[in-house]
Structure 1
Amino acid sequence: MNLLKRLLGVLWLLLSVAAAYFCIMDFGLPKLNSGKQDDLVFGIIILFILTPLIVSGLAIFGYFALNGEYDKNKM
């Protein structure tokens, strides 16, 4: 079970990289370049508030899982 947790840690780290890419390239930058004020506000929120929260949360969780912090034998 501990091996599975560590493998899922790698998965969480890969998900954080994918989330960073999609939040920046697909959601954030196109909204900033659209020219509408509603899209500009949404793009700023996506890029500067939501993306760091999502990516850092996934990356920290993956890092701890990969290092064995969630192992059953850890005391």
Structure 2
Amino acid sequence: MNALKKFLGLVWMILGPVAMTFLFLQAVEKVGLTHTAIERTNTMLQWGIILFIFLPISLGLMIFGFYAWKGEYDRLPESSEDI
């Protein structure tokens, strides 16, 4: 089980930047396709909010993966007395 946690930690660390890159590329593509200035402003605002929300989620995913990869979750407490 610990090997699976470490492997998934690597997956999470890779998935964070890949997801943000994909979102950024989608934002650039969608903003470039709009025709009028009002549509472009609305689209830029929407994608700015999406990127602003998902950036901390992506960073948290990478931090969680780093701790899983380093083995911080190898021994989890069984009860509140173990804490």
TM-score (norm 2): 0.72
Deviations 1:2-47 (A, max 9, x none): 1110011001111112211111111x22344334132121021123
Dislocated runs of 4+, deviation >6 Å: none
Q: Which residue matches 2:80?
A: none
TM-score (norm 1): 0.78
Q: Which residue matches 2:29?
A: 30
1:52–1:73 CA distance, 2 compared to 1 (3 A): closer
Q: Which residue matches 1:43?
A: 47
Percent identity over paired residues: 34
Root-mean-square deviation (CA, aligned residues, Å) is 2.1
Structure 1 unaligned regions, length at least 5: none
- Separation in structure 2 between the aligned mates of residue 53 and residue 19 of structure 1, nearest angstrom: 12
- Separation in structure 1 between the aligned mates of residue 42 and residue 11 of structure 2, nearest angstrom: 34
Instruction: Say whether residues 1:52 and 2:55 are aligned partners.
Output: yes
Q: Which residue matches 1:20?
A: 20
Which one of 42, 45, 69 corresponds to residue 66 of structure 1?
A: 69
CA contact (8 A) 1:10 1:66 kept: yes
Code of the residue aligned with 2:3 in structure 1: it is L
Query: Which deviates more from structure 2 when the two are superposed, residues 4-13 or residues 28-37?
Result: 28-37
- Separation in structure 2 between the aligned mates of residue 50 and residue 71 of structure 1, nearest angstrom: 30
